[in-house]
């Protein structure tokens, strides 16, 4: 409402303001008290039982209201609670209405007066009103418009007790069968949620937030939930989703310094009750009448001023900096809203505090263990790390990195057989792995033959399994390097280039003939070498391992695991590569058999007249003529392509080229997969985490970069499209000879693809400014006109392309400024911020990543490394037999989490 000096004064010329002022006076008159009511409230405030009893005996007086309130909305029982006089409270509970009793109860809960709360809730009048409320629809409180309390209508006594985390009061209400109803999901479309959303969306959001503040109370979770850890995890997930949907309540409402200072100043002004109230400083709802606005303002003043008036009067009197800081901290504690992310952190702290209470290994196991859903031999199996796996799935990093969890996990990791490794240094562990690497096949054979021996038991320990699998992984990388360098392929010569070029004559020897045939005839080249056969065995072993993982963990878990998905992608590339390679090898053998090419070529080299052959080039000409004669065979002409050895004569999508491409990509990813082993080491683990986080930053950055790149690509292509299609003749002199070469008028922007690559590589400073000018057709009168360049940063004037080149140079300048100065530095800042975040929580992040790595090996199964896991063990044979029986009896579901691995060894 507008601010007026007086009703009807010179500042109120409008009829609208006059009516608002009259309505405000009528509303203000409703809070006027008689002398008897004023004495009655004053007696309740000081605890004078005699005056209160005398006033209650005069209740028949029509001018006396036993439920009257003062200017701050406090009734007699509310004032009696402040005085903490039990006799007054019991006396007033007999006479006051249930609404007044409930408001006083909430006030007592907010002050933590346990004895008074117990007295009120055990009073017959409150119990009768409580039973009446239970029979009514509780949701009706949401639509209440008349608020006579400093608390919102959705705040129940139990919710308020949970807000203050008072376990004694919470226990009182839980004993009386009070509960906190969990709000419906944010996407709920039921009729009740739709009605509340249409009625007041803000009120619905605030009521949901109040409910989750109560549900996230540590005292409430500890007293009401049979499994507080599980409740904590579920609440965190729900509130994190709500924080993403309702971003308005994601963080505290007052984040900026200016907002916080304005809050302090506003609270100081509220304490001056008799000052004029500027209604324009508060938002007004469209469609509300002036009387409703006045009532809302009065309720606002009464709820916030009355609640902490005494404390604020004490805390807001200081003018020095120290007092201001104290006042500011108090106001943050009183008024600032704890939003969803704060509640998420609160739940995590509660879970960690639960772990702090564990005094032994058995208690830690009781907290982090969980029952499996499957049944083995008719009995339930308890997973000692079930709750820990759930914590990893829910990203509960602090809980996983807790000292008790890590100590228990470490004892499982090393086990009893390899416990001595825990005290060894990293150098000793690496040395032991290198010594045991040659003996790995023998150890695997002992494990298969003697599964109960000490060697087999030691090999089942997670630390030993990790060591053997790591050795197998590095052996696989050595095989990939050997296949890349083709050390076992005799068709490839590794002679120095100088010697190869210096040899001009053909030496008629058997070795020279074999080398020549491998160079000219495709069947003579080896498509699949012994090293590649070993790689196929390793690939098959990885495939078996991944299939077992799908069977035991389920498809959903495997899909959500980045490491498993990377393995599947790599395996897909290797399988596709070698499948194509095998098909090519069959085609080559079929072509060789059809033409009998190998034998005919050998006879040709034997019968050729070497007197006329002085160079290798001469022999290649004769051999090409021989190949042309072979093409005359109509029956085998379709196989002729697979006899050509020179890749320059192959089609671009030749199967062997495609196979090499897939193999190359798979090799890159196989070497990159090593970074997933880095969390096992404290020094390398944080680097791997930072690297992964920076890749996420780059992915976010690419969205903006792609937009800028697309914008300039379209602009530059529109500017240079005509000149990119034109071909300009340029004279090139080589020695004493002159050649004419045609080239585009503008090479950097010859087409859309050229423009894209030019702009992309310009980001890395691979762009020459001298290539920006447009080349003109050759003019005999001015020979240098076609190849002029920038001089001193200026373009050539008096040219037909002056405008185009000027705009093009300007756009390139803007592109470099935006890309190099703005975006690249933005990316650097983003990655620096991510690195600093990881370093601030370095220990927690590393232990969480290490735990995820360790859990992949803490299971019965997958003991033998690749490719030894292809050998059948007695356990795998028995498990396969049981699976086949259950499969054909329709009692088994493949690729489900129900087929969980046993952890009985723990």
- What is the residue-wise DSSP string for 40-79? HHHHHHHT-HHHHHHHHHTTTSTT--TT-B-TTS-BHHHH
* Res 220: pLDDT: 92
213 exposure class (CB count in 10 Å sphere: 0-12, 13-18, 19+)? buried
Work out how many domains the chain is built from and give that number. 3
Domain check: are 542 and 458 in the same one? no
* Res 173: pLDDT: 92
- The residue-averaged pLDDT of 576-602 equals 85
Give exposure, 569-586, as e/b (b: 16+ Cβ within 10 Å).
ebbebbbebbebbeebbe
- Residues 369 and 385: their CA atoms lie apart, in Å, by 5
Report yes or no: 498 and 601 within 8 Å, Cβ to Cβ.
no
Asked, for residue 255, whether it belongs to a domain, the answer is no
- Residues 17 and 458: their CA atoms lie apart, in Å, by 89
* Res 713: pLDDT: 92
| pLDDT exceeds cutoff 80 at 205 | yes
Q: Are strands 737-744 and 727-734 parallel, antiparallel or unpaired?
A: antiparallel
* Res 890: pLDDT: 58
Domain check: are 671 and 702 in the same one? no
Asked, for residue 162, whether it belongs to a domain, the answer is no
* Res 490: pLDDT: 55
| pLDDT exceeds cutoff 80 at 593 | yes
- The residue-averaged pLDDT of 533-559 equals 87
- Residues 215 and 179: their CA atoms lie apart, in Å, by 10
Asked, for residue 402, whether it belongs to a domain, the answer is yes
| pLDDT exceeds cutoff 80 at 16 | no
| pLDDT exceeds cutoff 80 at 606 | no
* Res 17: pLDDT: 39
Q: Are strands 379-383 and 737-744 parallel, antiparallel or unpaired?
A: unpaired
- Residues 662 and 653: their CA atoms lie apart, in Å, by 12
* Res 742: pLDDT: 77
Cα-Cα end-to-end distance for the chain: 72
Domain check: are 672 and 693 in the same one? no
| pLDDT exceeds cutoff 60 at 613 | yes
Domain check: are 652 and 536 in the same one? yes
Which residues lie below 8 Å from residue 612, measured CB to CB, with a gap of 6+? 618
Residues 633-677: tens digit of each pLDDT? 666 777 778 888 888 888 888 888 999 999 999 999 999 999 999
| pLDDT exceeds cutoff 90 at 498 | no
Distances (CA, A) of 639 to 360, 528, 585, 764, 823: 75, 20, 13, 47, 54
Domain check: are 463 and 540 in the same one? no
Phi/psi for 740 (5° steps) reads -110, 120
| Among 654, 676, 698, residue at a domain's last position | 676
Asked, for residue 531, whether it belongs to a domain, the answer is yes
Which of 283-287, 745-749, 831-835 tops mean pLDDT?
Answer: 831-835
Domain check: are 727 and 638 in the same one? no
Asked, for residue 5, whether it belongs to a domain, the answer is no
Q: Are strands 727-734 and 379-383 parallel, antiparallel or unpaired?
A: unpaired
Residues 17-59: tens digit of each pLDDT? 344 444 434 444 445 788 888 888 888 888 888 888 888 887 6
Cis bond upstream, residue 867 (ω within 30): yes
Asked, for residue 213, whether it belongs to a domain, the answer is no
- The residue-averaged pLDDT of 265-277 equals 36
Residues 820-872: tens digit of each pLDDT? 889 999 999 999 998 998 888 899 999 999 999 999 888 766 888 989 888 88
Domain check: are 534 and 663 in the same one? yes
**% of the chain exceeding 70 in pLDDT:** 74
What range defines the domain where residue 800 resides?
Answer: 685-840
DSSP-based three-state secondary structure for 554? coil
* Res 336: pLDDT: 32
For the ranges 58-67, 73-82, 283-292, 842-851, which has the lowest average pLDDT? 283-292
* Res 796: pLDDT: 65
* Res 13: pLDDT: 39
Domain check: are 541 and 652 in the same one? yes
Of residues 645, 610, 424, 363, the one with CA closest to residue 507: 610
| Among 622, 651, 676, residue at a domain's last position | 676
- The residue-averaged pLDDT of 331-356 equals 72
Asked, for residue 288, whether it belongs to a domain, the answer is no
| pLDDT exceeds cutoff 80 at 740 | no
Looking at the chain, how many residues does it have? 906
Rounded (to 5) percent helix, strand, coil in the chain: 65, 5, 30
| pLDDT exceeds cutoff 70 at 252 | no
Which residues lie below 8 Å from residue 476, measured CB to CB, with a gap of 6+? 535, 538, 670, 866
- Residues 245 and 528: their CA atoms lie apart, in Å, by 55
For the ranges 18-22, 401-405, 617-621, which has the lowest average pLDDT? 18-22
Distances (CA, A) of 101 to 50, 53, 170, 429, 575: 20, 17, 18, 71, 76
| pLDDT exceeds cutoff 60 at 577 | yes
Q: What is the DSSP letter of 615?
A: S
* Res 146: pLDDT: 58
Domain check: are 773 and 882 in the same one? no
Asked, for residue 91, whether it belongs to a domain, the answer is no
**% of the chain exceeding 90 in pLDDT:** 19
Domain check: are 645 and 773 in the same one? no
Residues 830-842: tens digit of each pLDDT? 999 989 988 888 9
Q: Please tell me which residue, 337 or 556, carries the higher pLDDT value.
A: 556
User: Sign of the C-alpha dihedral, residues 370, 374, 377, 380?
Assistant: positive
DSSP string, 102-136: HHHHHHHHHHT-HHHHHHHHTSHHHHHHHHHHHHS
Domain check: are 695 and 836 in the same one? yes
- The residue-averaged pLDDT of 736-763 equals 83
- Residues 357 and 704: their CA atoms lie apart, in Å, by 49
* Res 435: pLDDT: 87
Domain check: are 728 and 805 in the same one? yes
For the ranges 102-111, 267-276, 365-374, 660-669, which has the lowest average pLDDT? 267-276
| Among 840, 861, 879, residue at a domain's last position | 840
| pLDDT exceeds cutoff 70 at 190 | yes
| pLDDT exceeds cutoff 90 at 109 | yes
* Res 538: pLDDT: 93
- Residues 312 and 234: their CA atoms lie apart, in Å, by 38
Of residues 836, 847, 856, 840, the one with CA closest to residue 397: 847
| pLDDT exceeds cutoff 60 at 892 | no
């Amino acid at each position: 409402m507008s601010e007026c000096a007086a009703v009807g004064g010179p500042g109120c010329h409008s009829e609208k303001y006059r009516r608002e002022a009259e309505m405000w006076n009528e509303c203000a008159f409703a809070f006027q008290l008689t002398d008897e009511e004023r004495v009655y409230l004053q007696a309740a405030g000081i605890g004078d039982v005699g005056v209160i009893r005398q006033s209650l005996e005069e209740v028949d007086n029509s001018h006396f209201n036993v439920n009257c309130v003062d200017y701050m909305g406090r009734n007699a029982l509310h004032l009696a609670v402040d005085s903490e006089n039990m006799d007054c409270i019991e006396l007033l509970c007999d006479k006051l209405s249930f609404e007044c009793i409930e408001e006083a109860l909430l006030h007592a809960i907010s002050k933590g007066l346990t004895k008074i709360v117990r007295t009120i809730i055990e009073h017959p009048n409150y119990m009768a009103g409580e039973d009446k409320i239970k029979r009514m629809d509780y949701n009706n409180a949401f639509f209440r418009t008349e608020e006579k309390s400093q608390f919102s209508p959705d705040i129940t006594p139990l919710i308020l007790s949970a807000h203050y985390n008072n376990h004694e009061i919470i226990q009182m209400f839980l004993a009386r069968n009070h509960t906190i109803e969990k709000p419906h999901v944010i996407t709920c479309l039921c009729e009740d949620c739709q009605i509340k959303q249409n009625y007041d969306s803000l009120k619905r959001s605030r009521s949901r937030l109040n409910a989750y503040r109560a549900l996230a109370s540590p005292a409430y979770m500890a007293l009401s939930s049979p499994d507080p850890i599980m409740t904590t995890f579920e609440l965190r997930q729900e509130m994190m989703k709500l924080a993403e949907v309702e971003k308005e309540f994601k963080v505290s409402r007052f984040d900026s310094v200016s907002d916080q200072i304005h809050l302090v100043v506003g609270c100081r002004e509220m304490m001056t009750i008799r000052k004029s109230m500027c209604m324009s400083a508060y938002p007004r709802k469209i469609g509300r009448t002036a009387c409703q606005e006045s009532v809302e303002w009065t309720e606002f003043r009464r709820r916030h001023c009355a609640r902490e008036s005494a404390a604020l009067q004490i805390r807001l009197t200081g003018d020095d900096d120290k007092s201001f800081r104290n006042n500011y901290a108090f106001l943050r504690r009183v008024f600032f809203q704890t939003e969803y992310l704060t509640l998420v952190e609160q739940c995590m702290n509660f879970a960690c505090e639960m772990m702090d209470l564990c005094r032994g290994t058995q208690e830690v196991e009781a907290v982090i263990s969980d029952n499996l859903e499957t049944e083995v031999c008719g009995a339930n199996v308890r997973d000692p790390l079930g709750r820990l796996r759930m914590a990893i799935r829910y990203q509960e990093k602090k809980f996983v990195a807790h000292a008790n969890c890590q100590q228990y996990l470490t004892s499982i990791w090393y086990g009893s057989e390899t416990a001595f490794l825990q005290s060894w240094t990293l150098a000793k562990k690496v040395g032991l792995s290198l010594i045991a690497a040659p003996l790995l096949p023998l150890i695997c054979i002992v494990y298969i033959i003697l599964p109960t021996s000490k060697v087999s038991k030691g090999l089942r320990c997670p630390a030993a399994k990790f060591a053997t699998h790591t050795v197998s992984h590095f052996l696989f990388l050595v095989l990939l390097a050997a296949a890349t360098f083709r050390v076992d392929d005799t068709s490839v010569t590794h002679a120095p280039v100088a010697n190869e070029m210096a040899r001009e004559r053909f030496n008629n020897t058997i070795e020279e003939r074999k080398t020549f045939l491998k160079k000219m005839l495709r069947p003579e080249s080896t498509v699949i070498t012994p090293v590649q056969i070993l790689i196929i065995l390793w690939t098959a072993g990885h495939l078996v391992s991944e299939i077992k993982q799908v069977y035991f963990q389920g498809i959903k878990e495997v899909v959500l695991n980045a490491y498993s998905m990377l393995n599947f992608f790599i395996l897909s590339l290797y399988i596709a590569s070698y499948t194509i390679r095998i098909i090519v090898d069959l085609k080559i053998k079929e072509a060789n058999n059809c033409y009998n090419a190998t034998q005919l070529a050998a006879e040709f080299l034997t019968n050729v007249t070497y007197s006329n052959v002085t160079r290798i080039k001469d022999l290649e000409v004769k051999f090409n003529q021989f190949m042309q004669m072979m093409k005359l065979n109509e029956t085998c002409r379709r196989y002729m392509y697979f006899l050509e050895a020179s890749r320059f004569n192959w089609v671009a999508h030749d199967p062997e080229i495609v196979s090499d491409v897939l193999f190359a990509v798979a090799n890159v990813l196989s070497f990159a997969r090593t970074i997933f082993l880095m969390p096992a080491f404290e020094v390398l683990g944080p680097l791997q985490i930072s690297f992964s986080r920076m890749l996420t930053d780059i992915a976010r950055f690419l969205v903006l970069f792609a937009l800028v790149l697309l914008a300039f690509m379209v602009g530059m292509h529109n500017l240079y499209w005509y000149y990119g299609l034109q071909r300009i003749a340029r004279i090139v002199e080589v020695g004493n000879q002159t050649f004419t070469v045609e080239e585009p008028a503008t090479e950097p922007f010859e087409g859309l693809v050229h423009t894209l690559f030019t702009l992309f590589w310009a980001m890395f400073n691979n762009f020459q400014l001298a290539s920006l000018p447009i080349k003109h057709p050759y003019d005999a009168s001015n020979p240098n006109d076609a190849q002029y360049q920038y001089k001193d940063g200026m373009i050539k004037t008096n040219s037909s392309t002056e405008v185009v080149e000027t705009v093009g140079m300007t756009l390139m300048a803007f592109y470099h400024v935006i890309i190099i100065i703005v975006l690249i530095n933005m990316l650097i800042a983003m990655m620096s911020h991510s690195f600093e975040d990881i370093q601030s929580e370095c220990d927690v992040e590393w232990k969480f990543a290490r735990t995820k790595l360790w859990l992949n090996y803490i299971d019965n199964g997958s003991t033998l490394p690749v490719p030894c896991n292809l050998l059948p063990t007695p356990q795998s044979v028995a498990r396969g037999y049981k699976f086949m029986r259950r499969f054909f009896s329709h009692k088994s579901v493949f690729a489900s989490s129900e087929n969980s691995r046993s952890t009985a060894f723990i």
